[in-house]
Amino acid sequence: MIETIVDEKKDLTIHKCSGDLTKQEILDTIHSFYGGDPTLYTLWDLSNASVNSFSSDAVRNIFTLIQRIGSRRQGGKTAVVVPEDLGYGMARMFQIMSDTNDFPFKIKVFRYYGEASQWLLEKK
């Protein structure tokens, strides 16, 4: 399950994920997010979620979709919080793909929510 919370004052959307996530749930959330008025900053909190069923192909599919429709967040940031090892590795793969390709915003993966939130909202 994915619960989406928008903080308009901070231009921030938080996607709180729980349970066994599917690729389709994430794709649906991404379509919904970009179909509306996406915020510049986004935090995906997978602290209470499992991505054990995800494959590297699923990560590439999600990456390709965001690369195609994510230009509306040019200059933004996305933080991903994943404390468990498998999910963290998958998220890091996504981050590396975004670092080495033409991606419209920065992505960084964290194990702890506080660190992610701090990075996301720091002004530079």
Concatenated DSSP letters for 12-59?
Answer: EEEEEEEEE--HHHHHHHHHHHHHS---SEEEEEEEEEE-TT--HHHH
Q: 74, 84, 85, 110: which is closest to 95 by C-alpha?
A: 110
Full-model pTM? 0.92
Q: Where are the domains of the chain?
A: 2-121
CA angle 29, 18, 36 (to 5 degrees): 20
pLDDT of the chain, 124 residues: tens digit per residue: 999 999 999 999 999 999 999 889 999 999 999 998 999 999 999 999 988 888 888 888 888 888 888 888 988 999 999 999 988 988 998 899 888 887 889 999 999 999 999 999 887 5
Both structure tokens of 21 = 């996530």
CATH of domain 2-121: 3.30.750.24
Q: Which two tokens stand for residue 39?
A: 């915020």
The span from the CA of 114 to the CA of 38, in Å, is 22
Tokens of 9: 């004052």
